[in-house]
């Protein structure tokens, strides 16, 4: 009788476990892009999100579609290989546009930081994907605010030769207000 009860308990435990119950990290085979927003004036990491795509590609090209703001303009960034939107925002002359996609971002406090003191930089450097006036920027202060994030480290570990892509979103132009401007950073896993 005891053997029967033990056998029944063992079977119950065995069949009650799900494959999802293990502590494995998120599936690295999924095609993901980490989008992070950094304040233009203070270089403070504000928020971000992780975009997941059904299809995979080995390359990562961002195509920009820019409509010059006569009164109203727009900037749309697309993952070229998948024809998927990564960013879309309006630009208003002597006003203030807004980000339309992604609609929401997670607060910075939801992103875990590593406890190490090392400073990690992308091996392949940075690519400014929209720089119509060919301005020269120092990307290190921008990068410094996000390089300590565990997600950033995970992405660079899974794609060590990644080029970190970024652009400066200026929803207000003309007499634009730099307090409204933000850097957007894109990293593919």
User: Residue 94, by phi and psi: left (phi above 0), alpha (psi -120 to 50) or beta?
Assistant: left
User: Is 76 a member of any domain?
Assistant: yes
User: Is 9 a member of any domain?
Assistant: no
User: Is 5 a member of any domain?
Assistant: no
Q: State residue 174's pLDDT score.
A: 76
User: Is 119 a member of any domain?
Assistant: yes
Comparing 85 with 69, the larger pLDDT belongs to 85
Q: State residue 35's pLDDT score.
A: 99
Work out the pLDDT band at 18, boundaries 50, 70, 90. Answer: very low
- Indicate whether 59 pLDDT > 50: yes
User: Is 21 a member of any domain?
Assistant: no
User: Is 130 a member of any domain?
Assistant: yes
Q: State residue 70's pLDDT score.
A: 79
Q: State which residues form the domain around 75.
A: 30-188
User: Is 136 a member of any domain?
Assistant: yes
User: Is 117 a member of any domain?
Assistant: yes
Q: State residue 58's pLDDT score.
A: 87
Condensed to tens digits (0 to 9), the pLDDT of residues 80-100 reads: 999 999 999 999 988 899 999
Domain count within the chain? 1
């Amino acid at each position: 009788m005891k053997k029967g009860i033990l056998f029944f308990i063992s079977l119950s435990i065995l069949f009650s476990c799900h494959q999802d119950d293990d502590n494995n990290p998120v599936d690295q085979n999924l095609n993901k892009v980490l989008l992070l927003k950094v304040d233009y004036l203070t270089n403070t990491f504000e928020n971000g999100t992780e975009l997941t795509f059904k299809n995979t590609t080995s390359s990562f090209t961002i195509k920009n579609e820019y409509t010059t703001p006569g009164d109203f303009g727009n900037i749309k960034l697309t993952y070229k290989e998948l024809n998927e939107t990564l960013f879309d925002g309006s630009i208003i002359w002597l006003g203030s546009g807004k980000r339309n996609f992604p609609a929401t971002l997670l607060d910075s406090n939801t992103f875990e930081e590593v406890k190490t003191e090392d400073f990690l930089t992308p091996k392949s450097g940075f690519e400014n994907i929209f720089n119509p006036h060919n301005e020269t920027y120092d990307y290190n202060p921008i990068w410094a605010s996000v390089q300590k994030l565990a997600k950033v480290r995970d992405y660079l570990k899974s794609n060590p030769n990644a080029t970190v892509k970024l652009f400066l979103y200026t929803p207000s132009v003309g007499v634009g207000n730099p307090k409204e401007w933000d850097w957007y950073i894109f990293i593919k896993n």
